[in-house]
Structure 1
Amino acid sequence: MENIKSKNKLRGDNMDVISDRKWVSETLEIGKEMLYLTQKEVIGIGINEEEILNLTKDALVAHGKKEYEMPAKIGVHPYQEVFYHAMPAYVPSKNAVGMKWIECYPSNPSKFDLPQTTGLLVLNDVSSGCPIALMDSAWITSKRTPAVTALTAQALHPDAETFGMFGCGIQGIEHVKYIGHTLKKLKKIYVYDVREDAMDRLIKEVQPKIDVEIVKGKSPEAVTKSCEVLSSATVILKEPLSVVKNEWISRGQTILPCDLNTFWDPEISKRADKYIVDSREEHELFNDMGYFPNGLPSIQCETGEILAGVKKGRESKEELIVCSNIGIAVCDIVVGREIFNRALVNQVGKKLTL
């Protein structure tokens, strides 16, 4: 790993596009071939949690400083509970341009014994536009999503001693792994899922890896009332489930949903002192599509603006803050580009003829 890091460092961020193309061309014949990476190869590159956090922060800061191009993600919906999203982005500081194509089928695990989320990520050469890489994106999604939550929690509630996670699937597991990296004063993590076996599985997998005690929640109300910072990664539906009730929420809490407007009583976001989103444009698009039947709350600012220091986060211990992070492509593209860089250096993957 040290060898990979040192070689990749020679490439450097902020390399101009001509030098970047020359660097890639030393290994790949741009315009005639691209690199294909399986999920196993993506995982095997060996990027650890701290590195994912740093890459994700770089992407969010670029977003906060408006040093990017990223339209709101569009999608199709063959079934009510299903979505496909096309997520393009360009981050100049990383010479990272491409698109993630991802889909979510909540019934896949029980129906087909397949993952709920699958997808691909394509990267392009900035100079010519030619595809240079195609790789699995499910692993990237599973890592950058909790990284955003962990970074946001650090920015908005760094002294929190309690964290609650709703949903104990892949995202829930990764959130519990990541949160301790940024909330250094954590004493307890509460988890809740409608399936008790999912809670048991999370605790069995994660508890040996972290020092913070993980507690199985008795109910959504109990978890909500026990935690300073709360997150959720469940399903995304147009009609809110309102599992967490407005009356359970107290001033001073920080709520970080990854599932849009689904899990929480919509009145919570409307009464919040600050309603922050990862992408204003994407939330407005989802509002136009009907995902906020009671109306989109007034948006204070974007997550990246907080991390970049452009906007203020928590200004009082009494503030109730909701920050909705539904996933933005700049994070995927930046992480994907770093995986590609290391794959070239370490000669991982298969070259495919275009």
Structure 2
Amino acid sequence: MNPQPTLLLSRSDVRALLSMAAAIAAVEAAFAAHGEGRTQMPPKVYLDLEDFGGDLRAMPAYVDGAAGVKWVNSHPMNPARFDLPSVMGLYILTDPATALPLSVMDATLLTAVRTGAAAAIASKHLGPKDPRTIGFVGSGVQARFLLDAHRAIFGDTLEVLAADVSEPAAAAFAKESGGRVVSVREASGADIVCTSTPARRPVVERAWVKDGAHINAMGADAQGKQELDPEILLAARVVIDDWDQATHSGEVNVPLHDGFMSREHIHGTLGEVIAGKRPGREGARITVFDSTGLAVQDVALARVIHAAAREKGAGTPFDFNA
């Protein structure tokens, strides 16, 4: 028996093979499986590269017959220093039965798409029923995918409010999206608020967030990072993506460490909400989704990409055992 060759998939291959609708379906199913305890996901491993202003992370996972690992970085100064993305990734999808590599693919686009999908799924289950405005605190690359995913679920009627410390970045995003440039305060007052900054001090104040709003806190993904005034968390129903990751590196990590809030204030995980184990939105209370990014999302999406590549004959076959 000759094993199938490993498919090498570039970023352009992944872009051609992946739709946001397929990504949302795969990520939502992965959340549900995680909420039902049907996944394996060891803790994310961090390799701190303080001398270089960044870090590397290894993220292995298994879900529904698919196994793999993502090797991804976070180097916030890459665009300014080297004209490179601040986040880049590589994914290795493995046959769990034989351990043969099925595919080695770019995971930069995969990461951005699944992050956008996760936020939109959270807005679907936790947000207001008929949102009219979506505010972006941080108008960089990730904001584009957050908006694409929300439009895939809610349609094109959402008014886009773009804010960023860089006025040109906010202006470019507003122009692309048909939205308008606003202050961080005004963006924070939208029906759905998406934060995607590298902040280590709160940038969204409690007084700016209206009752009934939903916030996707996407930026805090390492210890010490924080985007929201902790008073927002105390006023909100807080839903996390994973207990170990969120309490160590998510939006809740600093308030928990400082004793400002307790674990008992956390409502549960988004997977539990999707699986029906926990209620989602109830009433007009603020809801917050604390996203750190799950390896089960990556492997679910990598499997979808690999299946599409085989169906369409895409990618470059390579025999690692030759």
Confirm or deny: 8 A CA contact 1:159 1:184 kept in the other structure. Answer: no
User: In the alignment, which of 36, 41, 49 is matched to residue 8 of structure 2?
Assistant: 36
Q: Given the alignment of the two structures, is residue 89 of structure 1 paired with residue 49 of structure 2, yes or no? A: no
- Tell me the residue number matched to 1:305: 272
Q: CA deviation digits over 1:11-47, x for unaligned, max 9?
A: xxxxxxxxxxxxxx8xx725xx4221111111122x2
**Residue 252 (str. 1) matches residue 222 (str. 2):** no
Corresponding residue for 1:199?
170
CA RMSD of superposed structures (Å): 2.2
Matches within 5 A, 1:59-98: 59-79=30-50, 82-92=54-64, 95-98=65-68
* Alignment pair present for 1:128 and 2:86: no
Aligned to 1:332: 298
- 1:77 partner SS: strand
Aligned to 2:232: 268
| Identity rate, percent | 27
Q: TM-score, normalised by structure 2?
A: 0.89
1:237-282 Cα distance to aligned partner (Å, 9 max, x none): 6xx311112232333221111012522112321332x111011121
**SS of aligned partner of 1:76:** strand
- Equivalent residue for 2:79, pick from 106, 109, 118: 109
> In the TM superposition, what whole-angstrom CA distance separates every residue of 1:67-100 from its partner, at most 9, and x where no partner exists?
11112212122128523211111112xx211011
Residues 36, 133 of structure 1: 8 Å contact kept: yes
**C-alpha deviation, 1:146, in angstroms:** 0.9
The residue aligned with 1:20 is none
Aligned pair 1:215/2:180, yes or no? yes
Q: Secondary structure at the match of 2:226?
A: coil
Aligned 8 A contact 2:161 2:174 in 1: no
Secondary structure at the counterpart of residue 117 of structure 1? coil
The number of equivalent residue pairs is 309
Checking the alignment, whether the CA contact within 8 Å between 2:71 and 2:91 is kept in structure 1 is yes
- Higher gyration radius (CA): 1
Partner of 1:320: 286
Give, in angstroms, the shift of residue 194 of structure 1: 1.0
Q: Is the 8 A contact 1:70 1:330 kept in 2?
A: yes
Structure 2 gaps of 5+ residues are: none
- Find the aligned partners of 2:156 and 2:273 in 1 and give their Cα distance: 21
CA distance in 1, matches of 2:174, 2:203: 22
User: What amino acid maps onto 1:284 in structure 2?
Assistant: T
Query: Relative to structure 2, which stretch is displaced further, 337-346 or 197-206?
Result: 197-206
Residue type at the aligned position of 1:102? V
Is the 1:91–1:334 contact (alpha carbons within 8 Å) kept by the matching residues of 2? yes
Output the amino acid matched with 1:119: G
Aligned to 1:6: none
